[in-house]
Structure 1
Amino acid sequence: MVHTFKCGAPVLDFIGTLRARRNAVPTEMLISPESLEAWFRESGLVDANTPCEASDLEHAVALREAVYRLVVATLNGDDYGAEALAVVNGTARTPSAVPQLVQRGDRRVEATPQQALSSIARQAVELLGGPEAALLKECSRGECTQVYLDRSHGSRREWCAMDPCGNRIKAAAYRARKRTGARAVTPERSSR
């Protein structure tokens, strides 16, 4: 599996395909039409290959960035930008992926890239226009910009996922405590 799915909603995992947004060189996961095809399949949005072209990738990145701007506005309590709204709403208006029943009651979803992107846009509308918008949080590890749904008891989740973000923060806190403890012991030894 090329992509990660840890944010609690496929649309949030989709905007997480551009990682470490604040870094000088963020990590882009949608680097080719094939990587977009892989994301559609790995996310469970579709069950079959969805052949994508360069224009589909461009539309996907534009949608991702528009959704991200709306999510950030939600987190900050700001109004939505007209351009981001137009991209998300315009994409949501097109037909989305439709599940079908196949032999023996199995469910299968096949979609064009446009239908798959419409499904993502509709998820964004449902999330941002619904009660779960209040559960949105950004990972507290400074280098990470993943946004996730905090469904934890008491809303105390701090990281997008334990691996790697939670582990890195906990390890850094442990090292800081060890350094502080070592400094506190050192002056006592020197006074003896």
Structure 2
Amino acid sequence: MNLEHVFPCGNPALDFAATLRARRSVRFEMFVSGDRLDAWYLESGIVDAVTPAREADVERAVTVREAIYQLVTARIAAEPYDMGALAVVNSAARKPPAAPRLTATGRWTDATQEEALSLVARSAVELLSGADVPLMKECGNPECTRIYIDRSRGMRRQWCGMDSCGNKVKAAAYRARQKQARTAGAR
């Protein structure tokens, strides 16, 4: 399977919120089609099968995603929650979630779009009301806006992921040091 999405954040709700990348610069939307939304649900592992998304499902998912992001960033900043964002997430979480079933080969979860989105919203509710709140951080890459759970020893993790952001930041710093050394040596 060729994966279309990455999951560096440590929580499904945070990974879902991260599907709009680089929010402060050139935004990159991952949910450009129903197929991409379906792929996210499957690749994240929250469901094993999902009914194909229609345009309205993508719009609803984007609305919930943005509400989750608003709530997460408010929580990190110790600011009050936006009441509209709370209503959106709570409404999605109130819908019945997909129920796993046991099969001869293991666990299997079929879901409708609404059931899959409910699982994401419930993950956000659990995250924002749970013990992981103090572990939430924004990626140290100025171009990245992912929020992740820092479970590193000493809570010193700086990036959402080494492959996606850490290596880029370290390589840029190395190039800057090399350029500075060349400039200093030319004097």
TMscore range, shorter length: over 0.9
In the alignment, which residue of structure 2 is the partner of 1:8?
A: 10
Whole-angstrom distance in 2 between the partners of 1:164 and 1:6:
9
List per-residue Cα deviations over 1:3-26 (Å, max 9, x = no partner): 111111111111111001111x30
1:161 aligns with 2:161: yes
CA distance in 1, matches of 2:139, 2:103: 40
Q: Which residue of 1 aligns with 2:31?
A: 30
Q: CA deviation at 1:168?
A: 1.0
Cα shift at 1:131: 0.8
Q: Is the 8 A contact 2:50 2:113 kept in 1?
A: no
Alignment partners' CA distance in 1, 2:127 and 2:172: 33
Structure 1 or 2, whichever has the larger Rg, is 1
Contact 1:96–1:116 (CA<8 Å) still a contact in 2?
yes
Note the aligned Cα RMSD (angstroms): 1.2
Contact 1:135 1:151 in 2 (8 A): yes
- 1:123 corresponds to which letter in structure 2? S
Q: CA deviation at 1:157?
A: 0.5
Corresponding residue of 1:190: none
Paired residues for 1:67-78 under 5 Å: 67-78=68-79
Task: Give per-residue Cα distances to partners, 1:96-116, cap 9 Å, x unaligned.
Answer: 111110125x10001111011
User: Which residue of structure 2 aligns with residue 120 of structure 1?
Assistant: 120
Question: What SS is found at the alignment partner of 1:130?
Answer: coil
8 A contact 2:50–2:112 mirrored in 1: no
1:136 corresponds in structure 2 to 136
User: TM-score, normalization: structure 2?
Assistant: 0.95
**Mapped contact 1:21–1:144 kept (Cα < 8 A):** yes
Number of corresponding residues: 185
Helix, strand or coil: the match of 1:36? helix
SS of 2:175's partner is: helix
Residue ranges of structure 2 left out of the alignment (5+ in a row):
none
Query: How do residues 27-176 of structure 1 correspond to structure 2 at under 5 angstroms?
Result: 27-104=28-105, 106-176=106-176
**For residue 19 of structure 1, what is the aligned residue in structure 2?**
21
The C-alpha deviation readout for 1:105-150, integer Å capped at 9, x for no partner, is x100011110111110000000010010111111111111111111
Shift of 1:37: 0.8
SS in 1 for 2:160: coil
TM-score, length basis structure 1 = 0.92
Q: Hey, what does 2:178 align to over in structure 1?
A: 178
Percent identity, please.
52
Deviation at 1:50, TM superposition (A): 2.5
**C-alpha separation in 1, matches of 2:54 and 2:182:** 57
* Corresponding letter in the other structure for 1:9: N
